[in-house]
Structure 1
Amino acid sequence: MRKIYLLALVSFLMLNCSSDSSESEPINEQMYFPPSDGSNTWETKSITDLGWNQNAVQPLLDYLELKNTKSFIILVNGRIVMENYFNGHTATTPWYWASAGKTLTTTVTGIAQDEGLININNKVSDYLGTGWTSAPLAKENLITCKNLLSMNSGLNDALGDDVSPANLQYVADAGTRWAYHNVYVKLQDVVAQASGQTWSNYFNTKLRDRIGMTGGAWINNDGLSVYWSTSRNMARFGLLSLNQGKWNGTTIVNSNYFNQATTTSQTLNQAYGYLWWLNGKSSYRLPGLQFEFNGTLMSNAPSDMYAALGKNDQKIYVVPSMKMVIIRMGDVANPDNPTFALSGFDNELWDKINDLYQ
């Protein structure tokens, strides 16, 4: 009799474990990576499979279309859950990343450091020579590659996008002032100089081609190099970022470096890493302002989210706790209030996204 009881108990426990496993399976299943050979193959996962709310899908799509969106993708565990195109955009149409592409520069800078070509703690003039700014030499020599990654170079952010020496003027000592500045692109020159290759060639061979971001390209726009690609290629980079620099078991960039990149990088702006925006901090600063705001960057988004944010609402949201990546490309969501990075659209969009799974 006792044996029968024990067998029944074991069977009951196994059934319950099986049921629990099934409910959590979409999050706990193995991470998927699409092939890197340029094929269009990509596994999918349905809203129903995830146990999400199908009734919340259409309101989200209506909102995205209303807000001038061109493409929207959600990945969970690497699989496509939603992929939608609007306003004449298609899966094969390239679009610009704007400042969301800063994180590509972050990643390639880390790759160059992994290869021993550079050290981000070294001063920029070690690679570019002196005179790359118009700051006094002693002040210029304070600026490290890490300062460029962290946006605390101390150079004047009010002089426009031009990064010629005459336009890179001293305001404060490096490390003492946070300001959103296009001077970060000098890291591309650092990598090119240290590698003996063009920036595009080094980027293509070390990052783009290794994760199958086929067809994307850097295009010069008023002296700045801006990345253009399809939405799926942006999603590939988001998936690499979710996996802390690893792609299907292969290390693209060192995970320790990637963790540093997605952690507060300086004491002036808690919500900023190495060109990545960080949610869940107690305060943040925004481009063009020397003012600290209390509270988290996006109150409606998960606190562990980090994001690549670009002008006119180009977005890569990465949420480790949900093993989720979200991509948004398009025109500015709120034309009356254009911004360089964070916008009111972020919180509004997350309100709609939350309806899918809460």
Structure 2
Amino acid sequence: MKRILLFLILTIALILTYFGWTTYPKLDLISGFSAKSVASGHFIDHRPLELIEAQDNDIDLLDLATNAIDETKKQATASVYGIKKRKAIYRHGLGATLINDNFDTSKPYLIPKRLKSKPGLYPYGNQKPQDTLFDNIDYQKLNVAVDNAFDIGNRKEKRSRAVVVIYKDKIVAEKYAHGFNEKSKILGWSMTKSITSAVFGVLVQQGKFDIYKPAPIPEWKKDDRKNITTNDLLHMNSGLEWVENYSTICDATQMLFQAEDMGKVQMDKAIAYKPNTHWNYSSGTTNLLSKILRSQFKNHQDYLDFWYMNLIDKIGMHSMIIETDMVGNYVGSSYGWATTRDWGKFGLLYLHKGNWNGEQILSPSWVQYSATPTATSNKGYGAQFWLNAGGKFPDAPKDLFYCSGFQGQMIAIIPSKKMVIVRMGLMGDKAFDFNMFLKEIVETIH
């Protein structure tokens, strides 16, 4: 009996040791991710907790979290086994923000001014898209191709939530998974990086910023980071230290789920390589870019307004909301929400070389710059846009460039086909066959 008791004690001790070594350090991130996901999904897109837990939080270890929503306080909390409790608050105009115990929830805050909706049909207005038939489209094959992106029954193999296909400015195919529709706001994750890049493009178009000068960061002027340009940052080519691996605790996860000032995390990193010699994907870099944008404005209100009034609302993306961190800066790396149709409008802006219904929001040279490979990315990355120049999708056109986000969010811009294809989902390219998805759709245009 003593041997059995000793065995049980040792077994429990080993289990607790293993848990403490492998999982306990992650609990803060688990509860942080869960609280933020619940607050955003519920208060931005009005999803019930059950749907968020079953879909948005259907990620390894997140099932350990216990979540709760407070409708009165507009907040969500999460904990793991009653410990590591985290809170995310929702504020109108700013979305949900994961906060720590030092955050003063009673402090007044600024919200961005928004432009009003424009009349007219999609994409230059918000009224229902006009039904248009093109003789050179095989609609039967197109509908089959779009259907192929979705799961049948209760399967969880493809996990698409929405697909919109736009050809010559007209929606020619559109489909949503159960529980979603054209009004559903969906998180774009790292597609938001392309929005951040576009804001710089607007400043450049207005003659207010030079991306080829050293980045305007005073803390770098006295060390070897002084030669890093904003151009280097836009290309993920700064040489700064950064680790982005969402399967473990790393710079990226600590930034998103623990940092107060997300842009400062990358700003404080040391340089590991000479600028423009080593490509390294970094969400910290994009949040640093957002922080640099903040420094271009005399006050915080102007910074908040500029993104919407000079870009987002200017092209009718009125559903979009970009969430902020605890210091009030936009989380330009990851936290942009919009309807699938509005994500499509952003793709159309780039398809039309920065021109929106006659107004040049971005210069054509900026669009070309965004879609030109940086020398160190093996033709796979431009300026906060991904590229197919290196043949990542071998059966899709080489001129395709795209916004890409965690779990397979995509805005594919294909100038040679006059197409924009948007796919929103919960399964990334390790499981979802984007090459076949794009191939099947493109081949329906003759």
TM-score normalized with structure 1 length: 0.76
Q: Which moved more, 1:219-228 or 1:193-202?
A: 219-228
Q: CA 1:83–1:200 in structure 2 vs 1: closer, same or farther (change >3 Å)?
A: farther
Question: Judging changes above 3 Å, is the alpha-carbon distance between structure 1 residues 344 and 42 closer, same or farther for their aligned structure 2 residues?
Answer: closer
Q: Does 1:214 align with 2:318?
A: yes
* Cα offsets for 1:153-181 (capped at 9, x unmatched): 11122142224347623211211110001
Deviations 1:102-137 (A, max 9, x none): 11111110111222322101111x2x3215xxxx94
Match of 2:130 among 25, 43, 57: 43
Q: Which residue of 2 aligns with 1:241?
A: 350
Q: Is the 8 A contact 2:137 2:444 kept in 1?
A: no
**Moved runs in structure 1, 4+ residues, more than 4 A?**
none
The one-letter code sitting in structure 2 at the alignment partner of 1:106 is S
- Determine if the alignment matches structure 1 residue 145 to structure 2 residue 233: no
1:353 and 2:428 matched: no
Q: CA deviation at 1:56?
A: 5.0
RMSD, matched Cα:
2.5
The secondary structure found in structure 1 opposite 2:166 is strand
How far apart, in 2, do the equivalents of 1:88 and 1:156 lie? 41
Give the 3 Å change call, closer, same or farther, for CA 313–130 of structure 1 in structure 2.
same
Q: What CA deviation, in whole Å up to 9, does each residue of 1:51-99 have, x standing for no partner?
A: 3151452353143235111110011110010011113111111011111
* Aligned pair partner of 1:52 in 135, 138, 146: 138
Give how far 1:143 is off.
Answer: 1.1
Deviation at 1:279, TM superposition (A): 1.2
Of 201, 205, 228 in structure 1, the residue corresponding to residue 305 of structure 2 is: 201
| Structure 1 match to 2:206 | 115
Give percent identity, aligned residues only: 24
Quick one: distance in 1 between partners of 2:298 and 2:349?
A: 26
SS at match of 2:228: coil
- The structural deviation recorded for 1:353 is 2.0
Once the two structures are superposed, residues 307-337 of structure 1 have per-residue CA deviations (whole angstroms, 9 ceiling, x without a partner) of: 1111100000011111000001121257xx4
Aligned length, in residue pairs: 298
C-alpha contact (below 8 Å) 2:160/2:426 kept by paired residues: yes
CA distance in 2, matches of 1:344, 1:63: 8
Q: Which moved more, 1:253-262 or 1:197-206?
A: 197-206
Change (3 A) 1:260 1:82: same
Cα distance change of structure 1 residues 345 and 35 upon mapping to structure 2, 3 Å threshold = closer
SS in 2 for 1:164: helix
Flag the structure with more relative contact order, 1 or 2, with Cα contacts below 8 A and sequence separation at least 6.
1
Amino acid at match of 2:138: W
Could you tell me how far apart the structure 2 residues matched to 1:333 and 1:279 are? Answer: 17
Which letter does structure 1 place at the counterpart of 2:128? T
Find the counterpart in structure 2 of residue 105 from structure 1: 196
| 8 Å contact kept, 2:373–2:389 | no
Q: Residue 192 of structure 1 corresponds to which residue in structure 2?
A: 294
CA distance in 2, matches of 1:87, 1:169: 47
Once the two structures are TM-superposed, the CA of residue 36 in structure 1 deviates from its matched residue by 4.2
| 1:315 paired to 2:406 | no
CA distance in 2, matches of 1:51, 1:312: 29
C-alpha change, 1:63 and 1:72, in structure 2 (3 Å) is: closer
Aligned-partner SS, 1:65: coil
Within the candidate set 233, 251, 255, 2:364 is matched to 255
TM normalised by structure 2 equals: 0.62
**Structure 2, unaligned stretches of length 5 or more?**
1-119, 153-157, 244-249, 256-262
CA contact (8 A) 1:178 1:269 kept: no
Query: Which residue does the alignment assign to 1:73?
Result: 164
AA of the residue aligned to 1:181: S
